[in-house]
Structure formats: structure tokens, C-alpha cells
Structure 1
Amino acid sequence: MPDHVLLHTLALLGLTAAAGAQGAAIDFGVWERYRGTVQHPCAAIKRGDLDRARRNLERHEWARKYLEGLRKGADGLVAEVDEGWLTTFIPRTTPGCYGPCPACRAQGLPWHPNGQWSWSASAPEQLSCQACKTVFPNEQFPESVVVRSTWDPEQEFGFIGGDTFKCFGYTNARPSLSGIIRARKVGHATGSLRRLALAYGLTEDPQYAQAAKAILLRFAEVLPRYLVRAGYGYGEYADCDPHIAAERILDLPNDELVYPPNVPDRKIYTGYWSASRIGSSGMDGDWVGNVAQAYDLTCTAPGVYTEEERRRIERDVLLEGAYLAACDPDINNKSVGNCYGAAMAGMVAGHPDLVHFGLGGFRRAVEEWFLPDGGSSESPAYALMTMGGIDGFGLMFRDYSDPPGYAAADGERLDGFDACRDTRYGDCWQSLVWTLQGDLRHPPSADSYRTTGIGASSAELIARG
């Protein structure tokens, strides 16, 4: 729910939800052992799904129109994706996230801690405020405060000078508009990757897989150096190996990067609740799921990927992207989405420990975060947000079995597991259906709105549950 009021509430809740114990790192040896057992595509889109989609293309005009639009966009990307495009939209420096508009404040206008920003791939170096229409970079509001990483001195972060802002509970915040731009660029690259992968999955045209591979390899080049940072407009960066930062997010081995007048305390503000490496606010799992699905759809394209390229993408994009999530032991309406990303990365790369970690988060969500009868522990809006973060489990875990010879550390082995059939997932959907009003909307309580309801895209999952 990309709503500013909801994000405000999430940030406030994050002040109390952050202090979780540090988790364990990913054992890359497990991946080495089992990666060869994966049969692609294996994630949320299975081979049977693609076969059914192709039959729909033969039978239905609506399907052909969908593919026509998909291919039009993908064809444009094939022509655009070159070295310049890759370095522009997948920057070397860690993305930022949100931040308030300094021009709104200077003009005496109301401002929101996250800002109200417009960005376009046609002008990728610019950011516009939807409220006051100011375009950045702007000489009246220079990013005169600069901090540089000592762990990776190539990374430098600029922030607006002058008086600080109060962003939710963060008293002295400085917006980084260049960081917001980097986040929007990464979002565009990820959306482009998804389009290319879907186009290949439906057509098996290798030019789409080639362009998708180029994007994935660029992420493999930069992601291992992306720092762990505090999301929203907080602007703190862990100035150390991202794996160590993920494992010790509230007990960093050295000072984090902060701008004045703030002083480091060797913690990332709000801990895992808002932590990110890819430009989110504690919700990197969606990105991980997108790149894993794209790789899953394209990695077997004949003559496109070399074995070394596959290994590099699996290690430096999929597993690297899931590392932060794998260290977070808490369950909340953000972390469950990160568990989804971790499970998909594990399923696609061949890391069954990671699959079990992610599935464990899903089980805890439907059995602990939701009430015993499937009811929401919070408002309908929060329940729907949580369900949106875990909907991929219902698609991934359809008759899932662990690799031959594998058993988890606790001895569990999954054979023919179905997330909709073998958990309380269906009860959670049933409760949301039962609490709809006569107008098929939920009561506008807490952070829910008059328009809050269940989208049509959930119909298949509800039927399976």
C-alpha cells in the first residue's frame, strides 16, 4: 500500500519492532551442493503455467493483446540495454530511499517526511516534487553535506545542507535527493528485467533473455558492494562488509556513516525494520523475488548463459540479495515479504536451507501473526499488506519437494508440500472474505480506508486456499 499515512504508521511501529536478535548467515556450501538439482522454471511461474499461457494465446484475443503490449515494451528495452543504460540505471553507489522536499519547506508549504516525488526514465538524473514542482538537482538546495565510506571509498553520499528535518522519530534528518534518484533508477531497471523475462517466458525469443542477462550481470557486479542502510529518510549507512552489518545490525563492529549533527552509535536506526540494500525501507524481499523469478525464466535459454554467468548471478544477486533477510529472526508485516524473497532465491538457486528459512517465516505469519481462526491481528489494511508480501508462497509451493538426500537441521524434509493446502493460509483468506461489508469493502478502521478491499488478482489464491 504505497500510501504516506500507512508508511508513517509503519515507521512509528518500526521504533519498537527493530530490536531483534542477530540471525545466522547463509551457508554457501549448501548452494554448491544442491544447485545442480534445480529444474527451471521452478519458482512462482512453473512450466505448466507457461504452457497454459501459450494455450491462452492461441485461444483468446485478450491474451494476444497482453503479449503484444509486453513485446512492444520488451523490444524497446532490447534496443536500449547497453553498457551506458546499465551503468545509468544500476548505479555503483548504494541506493537511497525517501526524503522530504527542502523547497516545500522553504516556501512554507506542508511537507511529508517521505516526500512526494516524480521521476522518469526519460530524464533519469532529475527528480521533481509533485507538490511544489521544484526540479532537483537545484542550485538553491545543494547536497553540500557529503559522507564517504571507508569500507568502500568509491561510495560517497550527498545530503542537503542547512537546517535538518524531523522525519518520524528521527530528529535530525537530511534528505539525499541523489539517493532517491538512485533508488528510482534501480526500480526502473528491475521493472525492465521483469518485462524482459516475461517476454522470454511467453515467446522463447533469445533476444529478451540476452537483455535480461545483461541486467542481472550488472546487478552481480554492484550488489555485493551495496551497503546496509536505514530506510525512509534516515540516511544511515553501515560502513562495513554488508554481511557483517546484516548479522550485527544493532551491534556494528565500527561506526556507521551519519551526517552532522548526528553521532554514530554503531547501530542502524530501527534495525531490520527499515534496513535495506536496494532502496526499500525494510522490504527488499520484493526485489529479491523479482530478480529470482527473472533468472528462473531465462537461465535455461539456449546459448545465452554460460555456466560461470549462472553461478555468478545465483551467488552475487540471488543469495546476496537474500542475505539481509536471512539474518532477521522477527516476524512482522515487512519481514514476511523478505522471507518470500529468501525462499524464492533459495528455490531458484538451489539452497534448500534458505527455502526452509523463508517457508518458516510464512508459517509463522499465518499461524502466529494472524489469529488462530485466521483473523488479522491488526487492521484489514495491514492484513492485506501482509498477504501481499506472502502471496508468492501459494504459487511457489505447489507440490514442492526438497532435493534428494536433503533434510533440514531439525530433520524436517518437505515432499509434495503445498502452502495453500498444508498451512492455515486458506483460513486467513477466508477471514478477510468474511469481514467484507456488503459493498465488498472492509470497514474503514485504523489505517484502512473506505476503498480497502480484496483485489481481483487474489482470486486464484483464494480459490486454492
Structure 2
Amino acid sequence: MPRFVQGSIAVLLATFLIQTAATAQDPTLESRKTEYVRAVTRGAALMPWQSPGVSEQERAFREEIERRKDALLAHSATVNHPVLYLPDSIARARAATESNERATKWLDSQLSIASYVISQPSGWIDSMIPEEAPANGYGFTCPKCVGVKSQEAVGHTLAQWSYKEPDTLKCAECGQAYPDPAFPESATLELPRLGRRIGYYLNDAERANPDDRSGKLAWHWVGHPIHVSFTGFIRERKIGFMIGAARSTAFAYAFTGDVRYAAATRDILVRYARCYRNWPYRDYWDTYADCDPMYAAWHDRSLPIEWKRHLCEDAYAKDSVEKAAMLRDFWGAGRAHPSTDGIGNLSFLCEAYDLTCTAADATGAPVWSVADRTIVERDLLLEYTMGAEPYLGGANKADIYNNKSPRVYSAMASVAKCLGITEMAVTALTGYERVRDASFNYDGFSVESPAYNNMYLGSLLDVPETLHGFVWPDAAQTGRAPVDYYTSDPKLKLMYRAVLWTLSSEGTYLPLSDTNSGAKPSVSLPQMGLRHYPDLFEGTLPALGAANMTEYALFNLEESALQKDTGLALPETCFPAWQTAVLRHGSSKTPATLALPFNPSGGHRHTDNLALFYRANGRAVLDDLGYVGDMPVNSWIHSTESHNLIVVDDAAQRAKDRIAEFSFMATSPMASVVEATSNAYAQCTEYRRRVVLIKGPDEKTFVVDLFRASGGKKHAFRICTEYAASDTADASLSVTGVTMPPEPQLPQVGASLAREDIFGLRDVRAATPDGDAWQATWRDAEGAYRMWMLSPCNRVEASNGPAQRKIKEAGRRARYLDAVREGDNLTSTYFAIHEPAADANAFPITQAIRLDVPEAGPRAVAAKIETSFGVYYVFNDFDAPGEVDGIRFQGTFAVVRIAEGAPPHALSVGATALLYHGRGLENGPAQFAGNASRQDDSHLTLATQPPATWPAVSADAQAYVRAKVNGAWTGFPLAEVAGNTLTVKDYPLPELEAAELLATCYGALE
């Protein structure tokens, strides 16, 4: 029960529950569930035992809701409208539209829609905001081309709709228009208590089996049966459009002063209020509540079964006669839209109201009557907000912090400021802080993925933005300062910065975990960032596709600031809490980015510890398929098997309770290196990957990859690349040093969602390598990628598998390759090089060989790599001194470059010796470690002193501190070592237990 429901309602509900509990013993009542479900799923309306009209419990509950609205409005602060767009901002924007082409285009687009609205005949607004119930667009399927041109349950992106042809939907793939008598809505879901009905299309299997209403034969979306209501989806589209139309007419009034636009805004909002108050509550799995929608929102888990309506019998499986539940809570439910009620739109409705509610005509007469303002404030703005409150824990609660909760807090912030409701402002700010502290780690990144980080921030950042400068009514008495989180909240800046630092160097999000391939930040994020943190965002907006004159920019930013273009100068970094390292090279349009995720478990994350994503020359050399919305193909995309890593025993990595740890990292202009470990496989005692990004001229790069695994009986070092995928021309995969069977033609699976077409590898062909070293080359018309394998394996397997990254890529296949080793209690050391080439005939590497260094110890691995821009020697884990071609090394890691006309250069980590023909480092300290003694946000003092000869780090290199947090190791970039005090930068230090620092040296070996 909501906190504000008192006395009489509690008695009424108790009486109701006692009565239903008593009658539950009646066998005839129990049989009613079967009778009811069978009847309703076949189109029945009121059952014989049901009474029409509003129940006493609904009536009493509604009365309490309305009394609370009275109280909120009675105690609201005085508001001088407009307040969401302040008069000086409006004047600034109006001036910009008179002199700036982009601003003029923005205004023209608003005026175009607004003028269209006011030119429509009487009744048009009512037809665009119908009283009839909207229906779900999630899972929309085109019955004409499903399985051929489109996939099942694609959803909104498959349906095209225009406000100029508002009663028609078209399939984006085949062009079929709906509704169409050839695809009739032959099933009806009745909501007799509300006087509503929804028509649905039944697919071929359902029509062929009319007695089976279980839902098993229906199309499915996210594992649940789903039905398409063309007319209901059209109503939802109309409703959504009219929210935007109300903003357009409000902006048109604000910029022109023409009261016709204000009157149109009023008419839209009043109509919306009248309809919203009565639209049924529904979820995105097609359940409707046949009762007062506010009552349903607050009691969605405990409705009488007669108030629950669904077209499928299985939807009632967990219900009893006394207690039935919606299939989804407010996360996937609402009235206007079945996902948090589309509550982000409430802010737009507030803006439209705020800009026009004080409008007056030429005579000074108000455009809005008191009655008009009252119905909009009560039955739209407050009604909308209060329907979301139970999801947050109740009235004035902010208990929820998941990735959809910011939508509610953002909407509350707008309502609070628009109507002067202080307690909603408090709830919004409390909710912001709750999400910030529970869903974002100390490094500024969320507990989910880059795309879902964007989802969080897309609404969450609106709270401090909307309430910035909010003056508390008691400020004069208490001295309480106006709201300003931009100066009082350092974590807010870290959250903004994470938007940038989780991008590839081309400005798209790293497609890690559930992140759409090619996705960019929502335009509002960098634009708000530019306004509040120009030191982070200045000059980046063109590269992010965020330099357009949006309404936010129009009111808050100068055109020159939007257009300033310095490109993206993103740093190499390792997020200490997200546990993802990002190495980079280059700053043009095709720079290189290498990411090594070793995330802990979290929402929307994949089982992909130590996978690689490598992008160079504008292509995904080592690809990550990312995320394709809520589609069945995600089962493969999420899986361990689709990633570039070692698959152990053909099994998935553990999804929960995995512990991944940072080993070391160092960056320099010549090369950068990072290593991490994970317990992702329970059967493995070691699962460790070290990658080195070699940086050549003209943004040429290649990656040296050392991957160790111990445990299990089968190790498959897997490659998945964008090169030679089924959507490329002149594609091929060839293997040198292995005689492979011929490749069969890639399968043409089209839009099929059959399990064998969207999960797993097929057409596997295998062969034994001729020796320990071999190469595989993927070629297509746009370039090539070559993988050098410099370590032994039992066999090489080539195959093809799903590679869909976007809705438009249905049926796309990639050519996968595995280097397989087998044996009991297996230990493998894979040593590979990943080499891309923009020109398939111009690879930079001319030769790569593994060096034999037995004197350096059993784990020592070394290679000599000859390239067009120099010779590179890579040394790993030399427990004892070893020497090759005049280079003597001992330690954890080093890379040495020998190039004509330049002195030898080296990057070393944890080295005690690195000499070139006797010159360089000898008998140096390799490590400095100790327990934490004291610390603050950026300083850590250890209980031990460093070695007397501890080396300083070159100014153009970056060393990392390995630090223990809650029993696990992560890393922080080092700023300075002063005695036994370490200073870190970029990230605040959490409470640490201990730290280790490997000596990092970079420069010429002279």
C-alpha cells in the first residue's frame, strides 16, 4: 500500500482480502479461473459473476490520490513561468534564429510542425490522441515478410509511421501497409470494466490451431508470446507524436508570440490529460489491467484475476483467483507507453505547459482558463508522476537505482520545477544521488556497459541540469544555497568524462558487453558536457556528431563552441572499477583502438573476460558483435564463444562471482602494454592475457598477444574478425603452414531465427599445422588482416558463425578460426600477432619468428618482428637473463625497437636488466610494494620505502600502480613517487589494502 493511504482504505482492503480468502475454499470459485482464462483469451467481455462499474476499493484509492494532489498543489511554491526555459535563454535563442543558419533550420522545423497542427480541422487533435487504448510496439513483426526480409519481434524500428498518414503503418523492409484486410486483427481482448478493446493479428500457426490459446504458437519477444495490434500500435505512435507536437507549438509561441500556437498547445495538453487519466495500465508483454490505471500501478502484483486481461492462457499460470499479477512491473509497464510509461516524455509535457500556461491574447485575456490549467496539472503532470511512485518505493521515496529509474527522477525534477513542488525536487535529487552512488563506481563508469551507461546518463544528468539554480523556499531562513551539483559533486564530472573515455578513437562507443556496434553518445550528453565542463568537451562535438543546433544548444551554447573542432584526443587508460584497459594510437579519422575487458559481473555484461576488441584502419580487426536490442541473436553475442579469447572445454565463462585482476600496464609513444588475469573458468588455475599495441608511423599498428591458460582438457584460441565477413566483397580466408580442407559456401540463413542459424559454429574444417608457426589471412575488397601464430597447437579449425551486429545485418556470417590444443590438465601458451592492412597487398610485417631462449626460464617467451618501419624484439617473463642479437634482458616485459637512423628505443616493465650491446639498464630494482599506511583521494603512503635507485618514469610514458581493493587487484595511473608516497591521477582512490609498482622505463638505450 502507498504510505499516504490511510484508515478507511486499509479497512476496505482488509475486508476484501478476507472475503476472497474465505471464498477461495469454494471449489466452484476455483473453477472460475479455468473458465475465466478460457473465455477471456477467446474474446469474452464481462463474466457472468462480474459486476460492472468501479469497485469500492478503486473508488477509495482514487479519493486518496486526489487528496494528495490537493495537498501538493496547495503547498507548492509560487512559480513565475516560464521556468524550465528562462526568459533570457529564450531571448538568446530568438536572437540566434535571426542570424544563425543552423538555428533558423531548427526553428523552421518547429514552425513546420506547429503550423501543420494549427491548420488541421476540428477534431484532428482528438483523433491523434484517441480515448481508445494504445497497444504495444515492442515485438512488432511484419507477417508478410517475417523470416524472409525481416526477423520476428524486431519491434519499433521495423515500423514506419508518418503524422501525415497517421492511420497507416508500413514495414520498413517490405513496404507492406497496415492495417490490411489480408492481415486481419481477428482476435479481440476485451476490457469491459473500462469499456475498451484491443484487436490483434493472429499468425498462421495460431489461426491453424484455434483451440490452442496457450501462447506457444505466438511470435515471441524476449521469451514471451507477443501479438501485434496494428491499430493499437498506430494509436501509440499518434500519442507519441503529439507529445512532440505540443513542444513544437509551445516553441512556436515562445518565438513568435502568436497565441494560436499557445492555444494549440493548450488543446493538446488538455486532451492528453483527459485521455491519460483513463488509458488502461499495461505491460510490454501484452497484459492489460481492467481497472483504474492508478490503482493498477500501485497494486500490479495483487489484482483480482478478473481485472487481468491477456490473450494467452499461459500468462495466467502463476495467478490465483484472489491474486493475479501483471507480467512486468513499471520497468516494462505504463499507460502511454509500456516501459516506465514513457515517463521521459513528461519533461516535454512540462516544457510545453511551462512555455504557454501564462499566454494571453491581444486583449490581455488568458489563453488558458483556470479549469484548463487545473486538469493539466492534476490529471496529466501529477497523475503521470504519481503513477511512477510505487516503482520507487512509494510517495517521496527514492529506493530504486536501476538503469530505468533515472527517467522517473528526471521527470520528477521537471514537475517539481514547473509546479513548484519542493518535496518532488527533494525526491528527484535524492534519486540522482542514489543512482550515482549505487550504480556508478568511483571511476565514473556504471555497473553495466557503455551503451547502458549512456542510457543511465541520458536521463540521470537531466536532474542536476533541470534543478540547477533551484531556490529552496526556506532559503531565507536557513541560508540553504541554490542547487549546483556542478561545483559540489566531483563524481558528476567523472560520469561525464566516462562518456568520452569509453569511446573508440573514432568517436563511437566501444562495442563491449551490451553496446550497439557503431553507437555514439546521445547528442545531449556532450552538449551538456560542453556547457558545464568545457575542459573535457571543447572541440570534440563535431567528432561525436553532436555539433548540430539542438534545442538544448540553441538555448545554452554558442554556435562557435559547437563547431570548434580539435578532434578526439582520448587518452590510453584503464578504468580501475570497470576494469577495462583501452590502448590507442593516432588521431586522424582511422586511428587504432585496442580494448581488453576484464570486468567483474554486472548488468548487461557478457561472459567475455580477457576478450580483445581491436579496431584499426576503420575496421574491426578483432570484432565484438556488441548488442542487437532484445533479439534472440543476442544469445550468441552474449556468449563466451562469440568472442576473441580462449574458449576452455567448449564451455562458457562463469557469469557470476568472477574475479578479474589487473597485473600491470604501461604506455608510451612507441608501444603500450597491459596484462590482466581472471578466474573466469573454474577449472583453470591460470587465465592470463598480455597484449602489446605496437605503434608505427602513419597510424600503422599491430598487436602482440600472449595468452596463457592452465586447466581443463581443451583450449581454443578463437578469432572473430570483420574482415571477410559474408557482407564483404572478394572475401576469403587462407592459412599458410596448414593444409586446410576446402571451404564450403557460407550458408544463406537470411532472417531465420532458428537456433542453428543464430547460435554456434558450423561447417567446421580442421587440419594439423605443418609446424609450430603458421599464419591465417582474412582478405576482402577493403583490406586484410593476418594473424601470426608463433606457438604450437594440435590443429587449426576454420568455420563460420553468426555475426549480426545490427537489425539490418540479419543473416550476416563471420569466418571464425580456432587454434586448438587438447590434453589432460592442459597448459597452453598462445603467442600471436594481429596485423591489419588497409591495402591487402601491403602488410607492414615482413617476418615474425619466435626466439628460443631456454636460459631465460620455462615461462620466457620472445619474438623478433621485422617490419617496414623497424625491427621489434618483444621479451616476456625472463626469470633469468637471456640474450638475443646483442639485447640482454631479465624481467617481466620489454619491447625494443631497432630502426635505421634512430637510436634503439625500449619500453620495459619490471626489468632488472635491459642492455643493447652493453648499454642500458643493469641491476635495476624491478618492484616496489607494501601495505597501505595512509591515503587520501590521490595519495597513498606505503609502510615500506622504495629501493634507493628507484627509476623515474619518462615524461612521455605512463606507469601504473597495482592496488588491492576489497581483496582484488586493480590499477591506477601513476603521477609521482616521492619517497614511500605514491600520487595517482585521473581516478580517486578507494580504500586500499596494499600496492605494487613495477619499474617502468622508456627511452633510448644509450
Aligning the two structures, in what range does the TM-score lie when normalised by the shorter sequence? 0.7 to 0.9
Supply the distance in 1 between the matched residues of 2:476 and 2:376 (Cα, whole angstroms).
23
Q: Which amino acid aligns with 2:144?
A: A
2:136 is matched with which residue? Answer: 97
Contact 1:326–1:342, Cα closer than 8 Å, also in 2: no
Q: Displacement of 1:274 after TM fit?
A: 0.6
Structure 1: which amino acid aligns with 2:125?
L
Per-residue CA distance 1:251-294 (angstroms, 9 max, x = gap): 22443111133453321112121112102423522211111111
Contact 2:330 2:341 in 1 (8 A): no
Query: Which runs of structure 2 are paired with 1:42-441 in the superposition (5 Å)?
Result: 42-43=83-84, 45-80=85-120, 82-98=121-137, 99-105=140-146, 110-114=151-155, 116-153=158-195, 155-162=196-203, 163=206, 164-231=217-284, 234-254=285-305, 255-264=307-316, 265=319, 266-302=324-360, 303-329=366-392, 330-404=400-474, 415-423=481-489, 424-441=491-508
CA distance in 1, matches of 2:492, 2:509: 19
The CA distance in 2 between the partners of 1:435 and 1:354, in whole Å, is 33
Task: Report deviation, 1:212.
Answer: 0.5
Change (3 A) 1:457 1:288: closer
Amino acid at match of 1:307: V
Question: What TM-score do you get using the length of structure 2 for normalisation?
Answer: 0.41
Structure 2 residue 46 is the aligned partner of structure 1 residue 28? no
Cα deviation, residue 315, structure 1: 0.5
Mapped contact 1:172–1:262 kept (Cα < 8 A): no
Moved over 6 A (4+): none
Secondary structure, in 3 states, of the residue corresponding to 2:402? coil
Paired AA for residue 149 in structure 1: L
Encode CA deviations 1:335-366: one digit per residue, 9 max, x unaligned.
21122112212321233222322222222222
Deviation readout 1:13-45 (Å, 9 max, x if unpaired): xxxxxxxxxxx96831332223461221222x2
Cross-structure match for 1:20: none
SS at 2:375 equivalent: helix
Matched-pair contact (CA < 8 Å) for 1:319–1:346: no
Are residues 375 and 414 of structure 1, via their aligned partners in 2, closer, same or farther at CA, if it must alter by over 3 Å? farther
CA contact (8 A) 2:76 2:422 kept: no
**1:440 Cα deviation from its structure 2 partner:** 2.9
Cα deviation 1:357-398 (Å, max 9, x = unaligned): 222222222222111231121111111121112342243111
Residue 507 (structure 2) pairs with residue 445 (structure 1): no
Conserved 8 A contact 1:197-1:297 = yes
Aligned residues of 1:289 and 1:341 also touching (Cα < 8 A): yes
Cα deviation, 1:167-216, whole Å, max 9, x if unaligned, reads 23454322222111111111121111111111112222211101110101
| Per-residue deviation, residues 298-338 of structure 1 (Å, max 9, x unmatched) | 11112211122111111111111112222212222222112
| Distance in 2, Cα, partners of 1:308 & 1:202 | 26
TM-score (norm 1): 0.85
Q: 1:325·1:335 contact (CA, 8 Å) conserved in 2?
A: no
Task: Identify unmatched segments of 5+ residues in structure 2.
Answer: 1-63, 207-216, 361-365, 393-399, 534-1006
Instruction: From 445, 454, 457, give the equivalent of 2:521.
Output: 454
Q: CA deviation at 1:63?
A: 2.9
User: Which amino acid is 2:252 matched to?
Assistant: A
Change (3 A) 1:422 1:439: same
Q: Quote how far apart the aligned CAs of 1:129 are.
A: 1.5
Amino acid at match of 1:309: D
Instruction: Out of 451-460 and 338-347, give the one that drifted further.
Output: 451-460
Q: Contact 2:142–2:150 at 8 Å: present in 1 too?
A: no
Shift of 1:250: 1.8
- What 5-or-longer segments of structure 1 have no aligned partner? 1-23
Q: Deviations over 1:111-142 (max 9, x none)?
A: 23526111122222221112232221122322
Pick one of 52, 65, 80 that aligns with 1:39: 80
Structure with the larger RCO, 1 or 2 (CA within 8 Å, 6+ apart): 1
* C-alpha separation in 1, matches of 2:523 and 2:332: 29
Report SS of the residue matched to 1:328: helix
**Secondary structure of residue in 2 paired with 1:124:** strand
How many angstroms does 1:59 deviate by? 4.5
| 3-state SS, counterpart of residue 103 of structure 2 | helix
Higher helix share: 1
Question: 1:442–1:451: 8 Å Cα contact kept in structure 2?
Answer: yes
The structural deviation recorded for 1:54 is: 2.6
Tell me the SS of whatever aligns to 1:251: coil
Where 2:170 maps in the other structure, the secondary structure is strand
Change (3 A) 1:309 1:371: same
In structure 2, relative to structure 1, the CA distance for the partners of 1:108 and 1:37 (3 Å cut) is closer
Find the aligned partners of 1:462 and 1:192 in 2 and give their Cα distance: 27
Q: 1:66 to 1:119 in 2, by over 3 A?
A: closer
**C-alpha distance in structure 2 between counterparts of 1:110 and 1:334, whole Å:** 27
Query: What CA RMSD, in Å, does the superposition of the two structures yield over aligned residues?
Result: 2.7
Counterpart residue identity of residue 440, structure 1: G
User: Is the CA contact 1:237–1:256 (under 8 Å) kept in the aligned structure 2?
Assistant: yes
For 1:190 and 1:30, locate their aligned partners in 2 and report how far apart those are by CA, in whole Å: 27
Aligned-partner SS, 2:251: helix
Cα-to-partner distance string for 1:402-434 (whole Å, 9 max, x where unaligned): 334999xxxx99640124333432220122223
**Cα separation, 2, equivalents of 1:291 and 1:307:** 18
Identity level (%): 27
Q: Which moved more, 1:301-310 or 1:321-330?
A: 321-330
| Cα distance in 2 for residues equivalent to 1:61 and 1:119 | 29
2:817 equivalent in structure 1: none
Counterparts of 1:78 and 1:150 in 2: how far apart (Å)?
A: 35
Distance 1:347 1:457, change over 3 A: closer
Which structure has the highest strand share of the two?
A: 2
